[in-house]
Structure 1
Amino acid sequence: MKRAPLFLLSSATMALVIAGAMPAAAQDAPAATAQDAPATAAQDAPAAGTAAQVNPGADIAPGPAAPQTPTAPQSPEGGQDQQAARAAPPAGYAAQGDDGDIVVTGFRQSLSSAQALKRDSDSIIDAIVAEDIGKLPDNNASEALARITGVQVNRSNDEANGVLVRGLPDLTTTFNGREIFTAENRGVALQDFPAGALAALEVYKSGTSNLIEPGLAGLINVRSRRPFDFDGLEIAGAIRGTYNDQSNKYDPNGNLLISNRWETGIGDFGALINFAYTQSHYRNAVRYDEAFVRTPVGDLGTTDDDLPVTTPGVGNAFAFPGSIGNYYSRGKRWRPSINGSLQWKPASNLEIYADGLWQAYRGEAANEWFNANLERASVDGVRPTLSNVVLVKGEPNKAASLTKTGGYPAEMYRSTNNDRTDTYQGAIGFVWSVGRAKISSDFAYTTSTYTASEYSLDSQFTSAPTVNAAFDVKGSVDYDLNGYDAQNPANYAWRGYYERRYKAKGDGIQWRADVDLATDFAVLPSIQFGVRYVDRNSSLDQGNRYANTSTLGIPLASLPSGALETVTDGFRSDTLPGFQNWLMPSRSNIRENFAGLQQASIAALTQLAAANPTDAGIADNLARFQTAIIPLDPLGGFTAAEQTYAFYAQGKYELTVGGLEIDGTFGVRAVNTDGRYSGFQRSVDAAGVASIDPITNKQNYLDILPSANMRIKFTPKFQARFAYTETRTRPTFGQLNPGATVTFNSQTSGGQTTGPDGQPLFNAFITRGNPNLQPLTSNNFDATLEWYFSKTGSLTGAVFYRDLYGFINTYTNPVENFEGLGRVQLTQPENAGAGKVKGAEIGVQSFFDFLPGFLSGFGGQANVTYLDGTNELPSALGEQAPIVPITGVSKWTYNLTAFYERGPISTRLSYNRRSQYVNSFNRNVNEEQYAGETTRAVERLDYSLAYTPFKNLTLTADINNILATPFNNYRNYNATQFFPRDVREEGRYYSLGARFRF
């Protein structure tokens, strides 16, 4: 590690600066510059985007300037001047400015400040600025970002938990301009930032050379408040209670900010601390058709593999989903956080600061799964019979409904998860104006740890129920069990017990130094240059064990987990009828009696080992249960150490051509990445002896990233921008992991001979990283037209083009004769081929100030984004590199907001819609092509109301997700036909609260 020299350099430099501070400088210095653990389900999730995402736990001057004197945003590295904000009165009130003008406040101030950031930035930027302390328009940063032009979000478990900018997820995330990350990831989960802790969210869609390297999608900076934002003592906060109509739970949320500044004998000093807490209960309900589609015809070419069909005239070539079922996710999550800041101005040209952040996530979840297989044979090898088959009219060989009799019993599990994240960041720095130069430096240390534990209990019916299934009813399957008594505990047998532990850690230092130098050249008024060093470490340790007890017939109710309870669903009353509820032990009984379940597993595996003395898989599982603590799996862990060295030089130019004012920046950033990534792999020698061996991969590469930005001012209110940038996005540490996790297939009971792809069962399932991954590269072109017709009114448009190469996605592929294991299913990330994203954005916002009286309080915002993104599938998949849509990209995204603000009343109604998008590509059964799984259009309607009866108190009421529109996924199984994949329902949130400020 190279930390000590850098820290000493930073400290020594700061001491020199303090000693040399020059009070005679002409102006005051500006405000101080500051700079997905995997899903937990042990078994199959019903669809991409449905399972819970457990890993939450992805230099800006403080505060917007007063609206009548807007200032440019400060870039997160080596920024521009920005004036500290004054405290704003509550929404709906106006203040008298020094020049006698009326200063807009409340939501008008929010629009004005965000508009000023966009208009005066060196790059193409959009922002949301909190209209008052503790008041962004949503619960967390991810939800708020969905309102911004060109931003899309993915949602699950009642919150936005994935952010895409112009269709791309590869973002750099910063907090007050410093890079921030969670555990082993390169980014942070933006939903972990409570709205009450934030001053603004800034989305950089094009970069400048002095900006920390953006991802392909750009950079999102989360900005908090600092003490010099305020004139003196400030105490402000909010408290709110929420209710989710699907979980039927109430939750508290709140924040408290205390800030003060003092004139002392050694200069101006300020201190701020902000506490925030958010909590939510969620409950989602899913009904699904399995992704794999099959026909009654046997895949091995033998009649023993055929499914009997008794319905006359339908043949045996029709397609149907291989299984159907329900999936319910429910849980509680809470996020406490504290951030603080100290600012000291010992001289008018010097400012020194220190910042700190603790951000945490806590989660408790239970995921419920029920699966009825429609094609798997019974324990004694007898295939099920299909009857009452009805085909879809007008579509060849597609089943609309059928009845399944016999075959394998239905299966279920209850997976219980506890997880937590703790992220800490501390920083010190200074800004020093001396002569022509402004010198700044910042040193920060970040450490983050994520831990998770999972106990999952599996069961099955003691016999196979008759299943009546209709595959497309209201967007999903509708089925029943033909009178089977699912409420009788005697009908349940123990199928297995699974445990997992997971710990990911990351830490790192970052240091930068920047110089902004004024020149004597009118055309080139300033040049900027700087250096940045980052040293990152990342590690992952995990282990799991599983006892498969399905052949023993042990009653589920006899286990130490106690009595069975009804698994309740989260469906609304107006949704699908049919089967919804079954029995399982409670979540608390599973977690509190894990030691007893471990002993029951040992007893069951001992019995199986005695009956199957040559089965290495049973022996291995029994050995894993011999210790109370889950043994670590070396194949599932990795360590990574990476250093990056960056240097940039940039010039700012200004000129007049033909009466037009033109300005902008041009520059280059050079970044060297030196990484070492280590893990373990399973090897088999010539004699067939397996061993686990360490493996290390090294990468060292240099990126030269030019950028050029131009702004043309046709009038003071009308301008155009043009930008060209090159960006690189490094693969994540987990994606570069050279090791592999090997899970041997124990699904040999019941006469099962084929997998869902119609081929012989896989010997093992392997998930690994790919040390040969290359950074994603992109050449980016942007152009905008911007008309700012009032302080709160603008009409803007943009077109953009991204020329991509190497987009990374994870693919699952059958591989023959893999490293001595025979036929395996391999899942690993791959670089795709060439791709492109092109699109356009249009946005408008304004208050209707031209209307008389109370009508002038009305206003609105609207924006629309069009995207067209395609890329080649990876050549490693054996394809001829077909061109397919980029996953996660919706062609159209709309945001519409109507608002009213006058006197003590402020109210908003916001509508968001994104069109359908492909969420994944999977290989079809018995085919060599990949087909997409599509999420249908998603829409959302939110309402908020604020009433300020007194100057220092505002009462609030909100309704989120008013429409509660279900999510629908569809699975294409050939070029023109599809089955519904699933339908997912999420809750509405109602909240009441109050904000105060003194």
Structure 2
Amino acid sequence: MKHSNAAFRLSRISFAVTAAVISSTAFIAPVQAEQEESVEVIEVRGIRASTEKSLNTKRFADGVVDSITAEDIGKLPDVTIADSLQRVPGIQIRRSAGEGSTINVRGMPQVTTLLNGEQFLSAGSLTTVQPDFTDIPSSLVGAMDVMKSPTPTTLAGGVSGTVDLKTRKPFDLEEGFSGAALIEASRGSYSKETDPKTMIAAGYNAERFAVLATLTKDEVNLANYTYGSTNHGWGYAPQEAAGCWYCPDGDINGDGDTNDAEFTYVGYGMVNRFTERDRTGGSLSFQAQLNDNFELSADVFYTKMDDADRQRGLMADNAWGGHWDWQEQHDATERGKTADGYNLYTAQDITLHAPRVVAHSESHTNERESTNYNFELTYKGDGNFSGKMRLITADAERMHTENVAQGYMTSGLAHNLRRNEGNGPIAVNPGGYGPGTVPVRLNYQGDHPVLLPPSELQGEVFGSNINRYSVVSTYSENNFNEDASLDIFRLDGEYIFEDMGPLTKMSFGARLGNRDVTREQYVLLAPFSNPVGEGSVDVMWKDQGLAAFDTDGSGGVPSASDGDLTMGYDTPYTFDKLPDGWVQQVSDFGPVNGGSYYFIDPRQLDDPFAFQDQLYPGNKKGGVPGSTYEVEEETQTLYWRGDFSSDLYTANVGFQYIKTDLEILQNVVGDSICVGCPGSVAADGGDINTNKSFNDFLPSLNLAVNLSDDLIFRSAWGKTMTRLDLGAIAGGLQVSRSRAGDDLAAREGISPDLLIATNASMQGNPELEPWRASNVDLALEWYFSPSALVSLGVFKIKLDSFIETSTWKMPLADADGVVRREVNVTGQVNGQGGTIEGAEFTYQQAFDFLPGFWSGFGAAFNYTYSDSESGRVDFYGDALPLEDNSKESGNAVLWYEKDGFQFRLAANHRSKRLAQVTTTGGMGDTAIWTEPTTYLDVSASYDVTDYLTVYMSGSNLTEEYESNYAQWKDNRISQNVYERRLTLGVRGRW
């Protein structure tokens, strides 16, 4: 991969020089005498105060805006930023290990997130405009504005909305020294770990200069469990005697005919999953009133998170191909005809005749770090003109690893996986269950799906017999390193008119931005002995039964006589022979009693090189050119805005013009560089350099009419766009291959060990156009007290340009280079567009008009209806909404604040949502839905003194879980269970 240099780049040195020049020039200017009038800053705290401040922001906003304000330094009302944002009307969140991670506004994730009004880098999502909110410690943020209508002065980038994260400014502090600190401990209902968090913020305001520093650190261990299908993309409806490569022969359901198909997945599991996160965040802000005309600001915003997602799961699968008659349905429901005319059946009580059952261990680790610098010089003269120059530079990096170890509980004979070192074939796990398939019961009919192996695999008979487990397969894939940089230079100006009638102000500006993202993806390859020649061959899937050579062309069962020999090492790694501390017995599967089994401790997998080298020495990186790329995005922006006002109304109208230039460096995927590897693990066949440009003209209009002193009517219209996900335009074609198996081998005359193309993923499409839309808002807002609001709004988003995931057929070669069939290829394309229409209702009020005790209560309620069309259809051809959009969502909050005591109970509800659309073999497009959820949170605190507060909080009090079903509500396929979290803490301020 060649490296390309952007035309516009601001280095750290240039920033330092610029800042020094600005500072020295400004300080040379005469410093004026102390201002005749000083403004006293009164900082208000508490639920009522933060509510009033948020309502004030909304009331006087220049568009359709909702706001959240922290009650005090370092105190947002929820655990994460996303958890707080879900309280805003129209916002829905996605969770990562139970914590809020990403958001939708009005059903769409195409949301820009800004930091103090400008773009920034978040290490968890370097290619997108929305960060991973788990990266950002909530203690660093003082307020959040959700802007649902565009304005010319707000940086464009969100189709449905823009979130502006605001940090506290030093000049907002009380004069002199002040600060805050907290220490807290949290604990999960399943994890049983006590997790600490600390935060300290200290500032000094000397009136003409001020500084504020905040440092926060927390550790968290989150338990969550997964049951059922572990990969929704690998669903099939095998058809009886259909002759296709994945179809079984004969009558699979025993009804005497061969015109049926049964919906199934390639594998099912019962997974114990723990996520460990170590977050560090810091911010440093400086402000100086250089003289009466100039103010200098400088900010540093730093985040670092190291995390590990560790999984231990009992997995039953059909050995990834060739065994599609593996399920026996006990309560089959007929669903209609497939496109090929077969009667389709689904079931919620199934016996899986599994050729393979494994104790699966997996570790995903991340090291994420980002630093954002901001410098501002503001001019406010005596005249009508004011302006600002802003310089931003940032860099971020992320290192990600994935490492897997599969301990076989089966012998391997049921799917013909044998070892042969020249003395004849033997089972890869001689002590395992076999030689036949394992009857595993899978039942979805209770509250939680249950995967129940036979008694032979449980307890003292097998589960507690450590020497019957063997490490048959290990691999490390999807590892990557990402680096990104961001440089921005921006000039803003404002002119106030005094005698131009309704025209009161004109704003204008120009901006240059450059973002660069580089990604290198790799797998780990180990040298295996060559059974038919000298030297060694490189292998990614280190499999004790891997037979890569069919020396006599028979394609039969490996044996010493026919020459099919196994690569690798002489002795299987049974669990009893592994190093001390590697193996642990686990019976924790959350609310499901799933038995007790041995697993390799996934902590041993955190370092892929160290683990893989213990078993198979000499690992090295193998490139994945299809997921290795470099993209540079350069934007040039001009904007103009005019503000108009009278006693009756306020309005703003204007435009943004954005020119975007992209330089995309992709790799050609060359020949495979290892034996038995997927086609994506290949040589770099050279560079594909694509230069692309597009322009966007985005006009907007916002109008607020004062119908009375307390009643405001708003209307807004504007064009919006979202910048492209740089990863979605830069990757290459990745081909997935799996072992052919006996059935297909017999039909096509190939070796059962041949890795055949099964599907492919188009990682990047340089021809994608951004999301573009036209937005309309109408709202009526009644502020009937300083802390009360009733509002009703309607909105419509018409998507002109739409990016969706689609699947099409493409002829692709098997591992031997021969093209034998067409397979499904999935990738992103521009769709025909869609619409979102809906309404939002909000009510909130402090009941301070009530007498005595009751005056401390307050309540808030909001409801959003968001109906969408995506242009996609399901199995029956019925129209589908946008993915991840709940048609209905809402929040209800009851709070109390009086005499130093505060209490808040909050409920968040989402109706069902479309999780994804998969193309299921044999039945076409299938809608995967997530059932409705309601999360309940609580918090309480007591002010011991004016400077010391004790508090507690609880999230997900009811241990809500998310269940998924395929196409039909009574066809559940998987479930994610999250834990309840309780927190106790002490906060002080001075």
> Structure 1 length as normaliser, TM-score?
0.82
In the alignment, which of 350, 362, 367 is matched to residue 420 of structure 1? 367
Cα distance 1:863–1:247, how it changes in 2: closer, same or farther (>3 A)?
same
Q: Tell me, in whole angstroms, the C-alpha distance in 2 between the residues paired with 1:870 and 1:172.
A: 22
In the alignment, which of 271, 274, 297 is matched to residue 240 of structure 2? 297
Q: Give 1:717 shift.
A: 0.8
8 Å Cα contact 2:108-2:885 kept in structure 1 = yes
Q: Deviations over 1:793-825 (max 9, x none)?
A: 111111100010333234454422479773454
In the alignment, which of 508, 514, 518 is matched to residue 496 of structure 2? 518
How many residue pairs were aligned? 877
1:133 counterpart = 2:148: no
Q: Map 1:328-407 to 2 at 5 A.
A: 328-373=272-317, 389-392=330-333, 397-405=345-353
In the alignment, which of 377, 380, 399 is matched to residue 433 of structure 1? 380
Q: Give 1:138 shift.
A: 0.8
8 Å Cα contact 2:757-2:812 kept in structure 1 = no
Q: Map 1:95-134 to 2 at 5 A.
A: 105-134=45-74
Q: Which residue of 1 aligns with 2:442?
A: 469
8 Å Cα contact 2:626-2:731 kept in structure 1 = no
Q: Tell me, in whole angstroms, the C-alpha distance in 2 between the residues paired with 1:298 and 1:776.
A: 44
Q: RMSD in angstroms over aligned alpha carbons?
A: 3.4
Q: Which residue of 2 aligns with 1:736?
A: 729
1:634 counterpart = 2:637: no
Q: Map 1:826-905 to 2 at 5 A.
A: 826-873=825-872, 883-905=879-901
Q: Give 1:317 shift.
A: 2.4
Cα distance 1:213–1:930, how it changes in 2: closer, same or farther (>3 A)?
same
1:770 counterpart = 2:765: yes
Cα distance 1:788–1:705, how it changes in 2: closer, same or farther (>3 A)?
same
Q: Deviations over 1:708-730 (max 9, x none)?
A: 11010011111111101111112
Q: Which residue of 1 aligns with 2:560?
A: none
Q: Which moved more, 1:1-10 or 1:901-910?
A: 1-10
1:910 counterpart = 2:910: no
SS at match of 2:56: helix
Q: Map 1:204-603 to 2 at 5 A.
A: 204-230=147-173, 231-262=175-206, 268-289=208-229, 291=232, 292-295=235-238, 297-300=240-243, 305-306=248-249, 317=260, 319-322=262-265, 323-373=267-317, 389-392=330-333, 397-405=345-353, 408-434=355-381, 435-460=383-408, 461-462=410-411, 463=434, 464-474=437-447, 476-484=449-457, 485-500=462-477, 501-519=479-497, 520-545=499-524, 546-551=540-545, 554-557=572-575, 560=578, 565-566=583-584, 568=586, 570-572=588-590, 575-577=591-593, 579-591=594-606, 594-595=609-610, 597-598=612-613, 600-601=615-616
8 Å Cα contact 1:311-1:387 kept in structure 2 = no
Cα distance 1:681–1:562, how it changes in 2: closer, same or farther (>3 A)?
farther
Q: Tell me, in whole angstroms, the C-alpha distance in 2 between the residues paired with 1:641 and 1:303.
A: 42
Q: Give 1:453 shift.
A: 2.4
Q: Tell me, in whole angstroms, the C-alpha distance in 2 between the residues paired with 1:554 and 1:853.
A: 76
Q: Tell me, in whole angstroms, the C-alpha distance in 2 between the residues paired with 1:383 and 1:220.
A: 47
Q: Deviations over 1:16-38 (max 9, x none)?
A: 66666895999999xxxxxxxxx
Q: Map 1:619-768 to 2 at 5 A.
A: 628-655=619-646, 661-682=648-669, 692-743=685-736, 745-749=737-741, 761-762=756-757, 765-768=760-763
Cα distance 1:695–1:959, how it changes in 2: closer, same or farther (>3 A)?
same
Q: Give 1:245 shift.
A: 0.9
Cα distance 1:234–1:333, how it changes in 2: closer, same or farther (>3 A)?
same
Q: Tell me, in whole angstroms, the C-alpha distance in 2 between the residues paired with 1:257 and 1:800.
A: 40
In the alignment, which of 157, 169, 186 is matched to residue 128 of structure 2? 186
Cα distance 1:280–1:813, how it changes in 2: closer, same or farther (>3 A)?
farther
User: What letter matches 1:466 in structure 2?
Assistant: P
Cα distance 1:499–1:760, how it changes in 2: closer, same or farther (>3 A)?
closer
SS at match of 2:622: coil
Q: Give 1:882 shift.
A: 7.7
Cα distance 1:346–1:302, how it changes in 2: closer, same or farther (>3 A)?
closer
SS at match of 1:178: coil
Q: Tell me, in whole angstroms, the C-alpha distance in 2 between the residues paired with 1:592 and 1:681.
A: 30
1:87 counterpart = 2:43: yes
Q: Tell me, in whole angstroms, the C-alpha distance in 2 between the residues paired with 1:21 and 1:884.
A: 66
Cα distance 1:810–1:229, how it changes in 2: closer, same or farther (>3 A)?
same
SS at match of 1:630: strand
Q: Tell me, in whole angstroms, the C-alpha distance in 2 between the residues paired with 1:726 and 1:270.
A: 40
User: What letter matches 1:391 in structure 2?
Assistant: A
In the alignment, which of 951, 968, 982 is matched to residue 974 of structure 2? 982
Q: Give 1:559 shift.
A: 6.3
Cα distance 1:704–1:415, how it changes in 2: closer, same or farther (>3 A)?
same
8 Å Cα contact 1:10-1:443 kept in structure 2 = no
Q: Which moved more, 1:593-602 or 1:484-493?
A: 593-602
Q: Give 1:448 shift.
A: 0.4
Q: Deviations over 1:138-197 (max 9, x none)?
A: 112111111111111011312011111111101111111221123432332223222222
Cα distance 1:496–1:809, how it changes in 2: closer, same or farther (>3 A)?
farther
Q: Give 1:414 shift.
A: 1.1
Alignment gaps of 5+ in structure 2: 1-6, 337-343, 412-433, 525-539, 547-570, 673-678, 748-753
Cα distance 1:595–1:214, how it changes in 2: closer, same or farther (>3 A)?
closer
Q: Give 1:136 shift.
A: 1.0
Q: Give 1:748 shift.
A: 3.5
Q: Tell me, in whole angstroms, the C-alpha distance in 2 between the residues paired with 1:136 and 1:304.
A: 55
Q: Deviations over 1:647-668 (max 9, x none)?
A: 1111000135xxxx11110001
User: What letter matches 1:907 in structure 2?
Assistant: F
Q: Tell me, in whole angstroms, the C-alpha distance in 1 between the residues paired with 2:808 and 2:271.
A: 25
Cα distance 1:436–1:307, how it changes in 2: closer, same or farther (>3 A)?
same
Q: Give 1:597 shift.
A: 3.2
Cα distance 1:478–1:559, how it changes in 2: closer, same or farther (>3 A)?
closer
Q: Tell me, in whole angstroms, the C-alpha distance in 1 between the residues paired with 2:245 and 2:54.
A: 68
SS at match of 1:112: helix
SS at match of 1:642: strand
> Structure 2 length as normaliser, TM-score?
0.82
Q: Which moved more, 1:558-567 or 1:457-466?
A: 558-567
Q: Tell me, in whole angstroms, the C-alpha distance in 2 between the residues paired with 1:631 and 1:18.
A: 56
Q: Give 1:673 shift.
A: 0.6
Q: Tell me, in whole angstroms, the C-alpha distance in 2 between the residues paired with 1:363 and 1:739.
A: 28
Q: Deviations over 1:511-566 (max 9, x none)?
A: 11111101121210111111111011110011013224152692432665556644
1:2 counterpart = 2:17: no
8 Å Cα contact 2:604-2:611 kept in structure 1 = no
Q: Tell me, in whole angstroms, the C-alpha distance in 2 between the residues paired with 1:354 and 1:589.
A: 43
8 Å Cα contact 1:489-1:564 kept in structure 2 = no
SS at match of 2:48: helix
SS at match of 2:739: coil
Q: Map 1:939-950 to 2 at 5 A.
A: 939-950=934-945
SS at match of 1:247: coil
8 Å Cα contact 1:933-1:969 kept in structure 2 = yes
Q: Deviations over 1:891-931 (max 9, x none)?
A: 1111000011011111011111110000100112213x412
SS at match of 1:885: coil
8 Å Cα contact 1:753-1:761 kept in structure 2 = no
1:154 counterpart = 2:79: no
8 Å Cα contact 1:336-1:361 kept in structure 2 = yes
Q: Map 1:4-83 to 2 at 5 A.
A: none
